[in-house]
């Protein structure tokens, strides 16, 4: 019997468009002799678009029109064998949808409530990984209310880290809302931007030199495997939204150009982090490698990484001999696996 799969895409975060791109690829790749796939696009307003609206959104990227609240539809999504929540950012990658699906008793691809929520929040991730002994850059947390009522306390925390530093919404992705701040005078604008997108903001020290950026894919549940290590190179100041999604701005190198012992360390650390965060199914773990000093810092863990056929995560597994169709099939199988 074919498995009935519900593929959720779009969603309410700043990564809505990225999710639609990923969904087109996954939709085309799930083998139809094994799966009966129903795509549903969630609008930016959190509406569950009907089939015509979903079709239009997938074709044009324009997710317009009304529909029921996601809350009501997820709860009544029985009849599906599994859900593929191909959603990035808040209300998708952060444990919220995962909680509804858990309540509804429907298996789904990827991490559960705990792993999703903790990995989405960069501060919580850093705290858990610090206790697991994983090297990370120095950081500070700031809350929106502190920035409103006691801005001097927040700027003092930034000063402790020194410039340049990075200001990021704690719960987002695709570099949305992230600034590299080189001078104290630019701090206010960066904080205003980040706080317009999140209640929690993380300030991060920059590595001593511009880091090499390496990423590794993890696949599996309680006995996960690590892909080869990949590397991204680009000319821009940092790996911002434009660099990520403008054709030709960034180059992917698989395997990463680093000594073998170093890439083994990256893979070990990524597996260790995946377990420490109680992730499941898949994750892409991002690192900074400072070639000049040989230091390796874990940057973040993405529990639903970009998933177009040219995205890093599928490319890493392709290099390991697992093609795109096989990869999405394995992910659904992992969702259905008893643990
Ligand atoms: P993703 O799309 O991978 O989910 P994200 O929005 O969660 O990304 P980060 O990976 O935390 O954001 O940061 C985006 C980019 O900003 C990094 O790839 C890197 O280029 C730069 N960056 C972030 N933090 C630092 C840091 N502490 N030191 C140096 N560069 C940094
Ligand atoms: Mg991220
Ligand atoms: Mg992400
Ligand atoms: Mg990243």
Rounded to whole angstroms, how far apart are CA atoms 258 and 192? 38
Catalytic (active site) residue 174? yes
Domain shared by 97 and 216, yes or no? no
Domain shared by 170 and 101, yes or no? no
Strand positions, DSSP E, the chain? 3-10, 35-42, 47-48, 68-69, 82-85, 139-143, 165-169, 179-181, 200-205, 212-220, 225-234, 250-253, 281-290, 295-302
Domain shared by 76 and 181, yes or no? no
Q: Check which CATH number belongs to the domain holding 191 and give it.
A: 3.30.1490.20
Q: Check which CATH number belongs to the domain holding 304 and give it.
A: 3.30.470.20
Q: Which of 176, 239, 282, 304 is the pocket-test mutation for ligand 1 (most atoms within 8 Å of CB)? A: 239
Examine the fold and report which residue of 156, 189, 205 is the final residue of a domain before the chain moves on: 205
Domain shared by 246 and 188, yes or no? no
pLDDT tens-digit profile of 92-116? Answer: 999 999 999 999 999 999 999 999 9
Domain shared by 98 and 177, yes or no? no
Q: Pick the ligand that lies closest to the CA of residue 238.
A: 1
Catalytic (active site) residue 11? no
Kindly tell me if the per-residue pLDDT of 64 is higher than 90: no
pLDDT on residue 216: 98
* 113 within domain boundaries: no
Give distance in angstroms: CA of 227 to centre of ligand 1.
Answer: 20
Q: What is the ipTM of this complex?
A: 0.98
Contact of 140 with 202, CB cutoff 8 Å: yes
Give distance in angstroms: CA of 30 to centre of ligand 3.
Answer: 22
Q: Which residues pair with 48 in a beta bridge?
A: 42, 68
Domain hosting 160: range is: 139-205
pLDDT on residue 256: 98
Which residues sit with Cβ closer than 5 angstroms to ligand 3, an ion? 173, 302
Domain shared by 262 and 154, yes or no? no
The pLDDT of 251-255, averaged and rounded, is 98
* 114 within domain boundaries: no
Number of compact structural domains in the chain: 3
165-169: strand order across its sheet: 139-143, 200-205, 165-169, 179-181
Domain shared by 223 and 316, yes or no? yes
Could you count the other beta carbons within 10 Å of the beta carbon of residue 75? 14
Catalytic (active site) residue 324? no
Domain shared by 56 and 183, yes or no? no
Give distance in angstroms: CA of 189 to centre of ligand 1.
Answer: 18
Q: Is the CB of 63 under 6 A from ligand 1?
A: no
pLDDT on residue 63: 87
The DSSP line for 243-292 is HHHSTTSEEEESS-SS-HHHHHHHHHHHHHHHHHTT--EEEEEEEEEETT
Q: Whose CA is nearest to atom 30 of ligand 1?
A: 206
Average pLDDT, rounded, for the chain? 96
Q: Is the CB of 21 under 6 A from ligand 1?
A: no
Catalytic (active site) residue 56? no
Q: Is the CB of 206 under 6 A from ligand 1?
A: yes
Confidence class of residue 29 from pLDDT cuts 50, 70 and 90?
very high
pLDDT on residue 282: 98
């Amino acid at each position: 019997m074919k498995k009935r799969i519900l593929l959720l895409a779009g969603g309410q975060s700043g990564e809505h468009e990225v999710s639609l791109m990923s969904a087109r690829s996954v939709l085309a790749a799930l083998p139809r002799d094994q799966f009966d796939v129903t795509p549903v696009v969630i609008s930016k307003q959190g509406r569950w678009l009907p089939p015509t609206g979903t079709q239009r959104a997938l074709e044009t990227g324009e997710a317009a029109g009304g529909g029921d609240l996601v809350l009501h539809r997820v709860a009544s999504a029985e009849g599906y064998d599994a859900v593929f929540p191909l959603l990035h950012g808040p209300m998708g990658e952060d444990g919220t949808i995962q909680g509804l699906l858990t309540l509804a008793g429907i298996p789904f691809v990827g991490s559960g409530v705990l792993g999703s929520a903790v990995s989405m929040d960069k501060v919580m991730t850093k705290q858990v990984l610090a206790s697991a002994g994983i090297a990370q850059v120095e950081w500070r947390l700031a809350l929106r209310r502190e920035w409103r009522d006691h801005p001097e306390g927040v700027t003092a925390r930034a000063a402790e880290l020194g410039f340049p530093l990075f200001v990021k919404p704690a719960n987002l992705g695709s570099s949305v809302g992230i600034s590299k701040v080189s001078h104290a005078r630019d701090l206010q604008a960066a904080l205003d931007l980040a706080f317009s997108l999140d209640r929690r903001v993380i300030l991060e020290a920059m590595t001593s030199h511009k880091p090499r950026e390496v990423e590794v894919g993890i696949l599996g549940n309680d006995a996960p495997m690590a892909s080869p290590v990949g590397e991204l190179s680009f000319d821009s100041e940092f790996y911002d939204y434009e660099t990520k999604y403008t054709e030709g701005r960034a180059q992917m190198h698989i395997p990463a150009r680093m000594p073998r012992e170093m890439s083994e360390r990256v893979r070990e650390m990524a597996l260790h982090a995946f377990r420490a965060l109680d992730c499941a199914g898949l994750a892409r773990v991002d690192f900074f490698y400072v070639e000049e000093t040989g230091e390796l810092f874990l940057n973040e863990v993405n529990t639903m990484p970009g998933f177009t056929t040219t995205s890093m995560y599928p490319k890493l597994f392709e290099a390991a001999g697992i093609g795109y169709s096989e990869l999405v099939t394995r992910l659904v199988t992992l969702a259905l696996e008893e643990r």
